Amino acid sequence: MSDTKNLFNKVWDLHTVGTLPSGQTQLFIGLHLIHEVTSPQAFAMLRERDLKVMYPERTFATVDHIVPTDNQARPFADNLAEQMMSAIEKNCREFGVTLFDLKDGRQGIVHTVGPEQGLTQPGMTIACGDSHTSTHGAFGSIAFGIGTSQVAYVLSTQTLAMNRPQVRRVGVNGELGPGVFAKDVILHIIRQLGVKGGIGYAYEFAGDVFDRMTMEERMTVCNMSIEGGARCGYINPDETTVEYIRGRPFAPQGEAFEKAREWWLSLASGPNAQFDDEVSYDAASIEPTVTWGINPGQSVGINEAIPTVASYPEEEQKGVQEALDFMELNEGQSMKGLKIDVAFIGSCTNGRISDLRQAAELAKGNRVAPGVKAIVVPGSQQVRRQAEEEGLAEIFTEAGFEWREAGCSMCLAMNPDKLKGREICASSSNRNFKGRQGSPTGRTLLMSPAMVTAAAIRGSVTDVREMLEPVGA
Amino acid sequence: MNEITQVTGTGVPLFLDDIDTDRIIPARFLRCVSFDGLGEHAFEDDREQDPSHPFNNDAYRNGSILVSGRNFGCGSSREHAPQALMRWGIEAVVAESFAEIFFGNCTSLGVPAVCAKREDLATLSAAIESDPQLEVTVDIDALQVRYGDQAIPVTMPEGARGALVSGQWDFLSQLLENGDQIRETAGTLPYVSSFAG
């Protein structure tokens, strides 16, 4: 049978340099993205060993995690953040790496910037010292997060020592209902397969639901592969992928683009492609989804009750009870109507222009509920400019949302944007871990940007479908 | 680098599932340009909220073998997590399973991370709780964990195990050796030459 190889294995084989004494593959990394938090120690390792960056032209840096989203005047109020900022500026200058800094106009969250600049392309291997590097898999690349020692390996050799994972095809077919978004699809998948279900696997997301998705929606899905334990997830490149890349600053141009297009499409898993495992879900069964617990697999459809502790296998019950206690929620309770204190729209999961358009559509003509602090943090300076040109920023501010500068912000709260005390945050980000949003006892409810907007306006968790225009009325 | 075939010490029982890297080292401590000093902040928020957390218990303060549940180290790719544990004094982790990025980071640091069966972890954890001074050996040569008169089988991917026992867990030196092959592979990738070929 011809073409039984799936995209993952094709791309892996093309990037294999050789087999190391340990039996691991030495894998060439086509694009290395770095940011201020996980790179300073890696550059220190290079200095210690007197090494250079092997392919500075294949390495791009931005600043995102510690960037303040209100006052960006230098030096930053936070001295530690200022130190990290100065370190990446110095490192990029000395090692010849392009840095999209705050004055550049291209700065933003690393996983927003790569795609919008056309750096992210099908068939590449992409690594970054950030677990949400899986985002770039939306283009049919193999993209995964690495630790700081590995950042040093890629800087100095453009390669990594890796074990080849197995590949699981995750199918979703059928029609998504109104008010159900890419975020709900991936939260549903993680709930079904579990937060550790993907360990040892790369996920290929396939089926007509993904075929119809825009690139930004595909990025939302692949972004959260890691929350399901899969180090990377991807979607096969198609004409949607090609058209997204066309004309972007770092995309091939003219005749080279047509050659690229042909190569990109040739990598897609064909009809005879084989997988180590396959699962599939019915799109119609997915509801707007919200998390109730302390990991992204602990979620329910908005009209479901929180499951009973007894419904879990005995060995998991202690963890489930711990989650309920931390969240101060009860089994059998509905999430609908739960009061929120903060609403956060942004992050590498949902901080792109289509997310902001969706949120603005709901925010238009409405007001943020009294007592709720609501912030919108665009994923990049480019997204911010576009949102301002389209009038979205004005809609947000008129509705009582704070309109911020680009960065990771309250997704992981390394900058001044943090929850306080026991606050509950409706968040379009990717992790609801204990303490994730900056207060050790703060609570996070993950949901789509539309659901966050609805919660901000009503002041409590809401089924966004109640606020959408009736279809076909 | 030194060959790591076994780690012997006392244990720290943290037999819970899905311990994420935000709990191991909260993000605010990542505002640093060096890993120095991370050890004292390991599990800081959990310790603050739970006085009975094993990292608060003096009986386990010198423990070097951490025992946990499934999916240990899930979440962020921050190497700060195993760095914090290592600088706290942890030299090996025994768990039901590990998140992959965390596992890779441990190997890069020469910290063996081995998987054991859940029932064996429950027994080991209970044994440590009843005698915090119990000597535990994580033997990655023989792939077992020994304590008292017990020996439980453990597993570890061969690539990482081989690298640790042969003292080749400094992957950087190995990767650096193949400069010519790296350039050759790069030369075959159409995007590296901007699709000009």
- Choose among A66, A195, A434: nearest Cβ to B31: A66
Q: Which residues of B touch A124 (CB under 8 A)?
A: 191
How many Å is the maximal CA-CA distance in chain A? 69
* Domain-located, residue A253: yes
Does residue A263 share a domain with residue A338? no
Does residue A431 share a domain with residue A302? yes
* Domain-located, residue B20: yes
Does residue A293 share a domain with residue A159? no
- Choose among A124, A414, A435: nearest Cβ to B191: A124
CB pairs under 8 A between A and B: 227
Cβ atoms of A215 and A199 closer than 8 Å: no
Q: Does A44 touch chain B (CB under 8 A)?
A: yes
**A89 C-beta neighbours (distance < 10 Å), count:** 15
Number of structural domains in chain A: 2
Q: What is the pLDDT of residue A21?
A: 87
- The alpha-carbon gap from B149 to the nearest alpha carbon of chain A, in Å, equals 26
A408 is in an annotated binding site: yes
- Choose among A152, A159, A414: nearest Cβ to B28: A414
* Domain-located, residue A472: no
Q: Which residues contact B79 (CB under 8 A, 6 or more apart)?
A: A38, A41, A129, A147, A148, A149, B35, B105, B108, B109
Q: What is the pLDDT of residue B170?
A: 86
Positions of E strands within A119-158: 125-128, 142-145
- The alpha-carbon gap from B68 to the nearest alpha carbon of chain A, in Å, equals 13
* Domain-located, residue B176: no
Q: Give the end-to-end CA distance of chain B in Å, rounded to a whole number.
A: 42
* Domain-located, residue B180: no
Cross-chain residue pair B175–A26, CB shorter than 8 Å: yes
> Can you give the three-state secondary structure of chain B, one letter per residue?
CCCCCEEEECEEEECCCCCEHHHHCCHHHHCCCCCCCCHHHCCHHHHHHCCCCHHHCHHHCCCCEEEECCCECECCCCCHHHHHHHHHCCCEEEECCECHHHHHHHHHCCCCEEEECHHHHHHHHHHHHHCCCCCEEEECCCCEEEECCEEEEEECCHHHHHHHHCCCCCHHHHHHCCHHHHHHHHHHCCCCCCCCC
- Residue of chain B nearest A412, judged by CA positions: B27
Q: What is the DSSP letter of A349?
A: H
Cross-chain residue pair B175–A66, CB shorter than 8 Å: no
Cross-chain residue pair A147–B104, CB shorter than 8 Å: yes
Does residue A205 share a domain with residue A106? yes
Does residue A429 share a domain with residue A457? yes
From the list B162, B84, B82, B152, the residue with the least C-alpha distance to B124 is: B152
- The alpha-carbon gap from A287 to the nearest alpha carbon of chain B, in Å, equals 25
From the list B11, B22, B34, the residue with the least C-alpha distance to B123 is: B11
Q: B136: burial class by Cβ within 10 Å (0-12, 13-18, 19+)?
A: buried
Q: What is the pLDDT of residue A73?
A: 96
Q: What is the pLDDT of residue A178?
A: 96
Cross-chain residue pair A131–B109, CB shorter than 8 Å: no
B100, B106, B177, best to mutate vs chain A, most A CBs in 10 Å:
B100
From the list A107, A104, A99, A60, the residue with the least C-alpha distance to A381 is: A107
* Domain-located, residue A16: yes
Does residue A294 share a domain with residue A269? no
Residues lower than pLDDT 70 in chain A: 1-2, 470-473
pLDDT tens digits for range B29-74: 999 999 999 999 999 999 999 999 999 999 999 999 999 999 999 9
From the list A370, A343, A365, A349, the residue with the least C-alpha distance to A469 is: A365
Cβ atoms of A375 and A343 closer than 8 Å: yes
Q: Which residues of B touch A146 (CB under 8 A)?
A: 77, 101, 104
Q: Of the residues A218, A253, A277, which one is the last residue of a structural domain?
A: A277
- The alpha-carbon gap from B194 to the nearest alpha carbon of chain A, in Å, equals 6
CATH code at A324? 3.30.499.10
- The alpha-carbon gap from B75 to the nearest alpha carbon of chain A, in Å, equals 7
Q: Of the residues A277, A303, A330, which one is the last residue of a structural domain?
A: A277
- The alpha-carbon gap from A329 to the nearest alpha carbon of chain B, in Å, equals 18
B38, B171, B193, best to mutate vs chain A, most A CBs in 10 Å:
B171
Q: What is the pLDDT of residue A397?
A: 98
Does residue A300 share a domain with residue A220? no
Does residue A144 share a domain with residue A182? yes
Radius of gyration of chain B (CA): 19
Domain that includes residue B100, residue range: 6-168
CATH code at B140? 3.20.19.10
- Residue of chain A nearest B101, judged by CA positions: A146
- What percent of chain B is predicted at pLDDT more than 70? 100
Q: Which residues of B touch A260 (CB under 8 A)?
A: 190-191, 195
* Domain-located, residue B1: no
The span from the CA of A84 to the CA of A96, in Å, is 18
Cross-chain residue pair A147–B75, CB shorter than 8 Å: no
Q: What is the pLDDT of residue A22?
A: 84
* Domain-located, residue B111: yes
Q: Of the residues A251, A277, A303, which one is the last residue of a structural domain?
A: A277
B92 pLDDT above the threshold of 90: yes
pLDDT tens digits for range A40-72: 999 999 999 999 999 999 999 999 999 999 999
Q: Does A139 touch chain B (CB under 8 A)?
A: no
Buried b (16+ CB within 10 A) or exposed e, A295-315: bbbbbbbbeeebeebeeeeee
Does residue A294 share a domain with residue A240? no
Domain that includes residue A48, residue range: 7-277
The span from the CA of A82 to the CA of B25, in Å, is 21
Q: Does A328 touch chain B (CB under 8 A)?
A: no
Give the type of residue at A154. Answer: V
Q: What is the pLDDT of residue A471?
A: 52
Cβ atoms of A259 and A140 closer than 8 Å: no
Q: What is the DSSP letter of A316?
A: H
ipTM of this complex prediction, to 2 decimal places: 0.97
* Domain-located, residue A468: no
Q: Which residues of A touch B157 (CB under 8 A)?
A: 163
Does residue A23 share a domain with residue A80? yes
Number of structural domains in chain B: 1
* Domain-located, residue B10: yes
- Residue of chain A nearest B109, judged by CA positions: A149
Does residue A299 share a domain with residue A271? no
- The alpha-carbon gap from B62 to the nearest alpha carbon of chain A, in Å, equals 26
Cβ atoms of A160 and A270 closer than 8 Å: no
- Residue of chain A nearest B35, judged by CA positions: A41
* Domain-located, residue B54: yes
Does residue A326 share a domain with residue A216? no
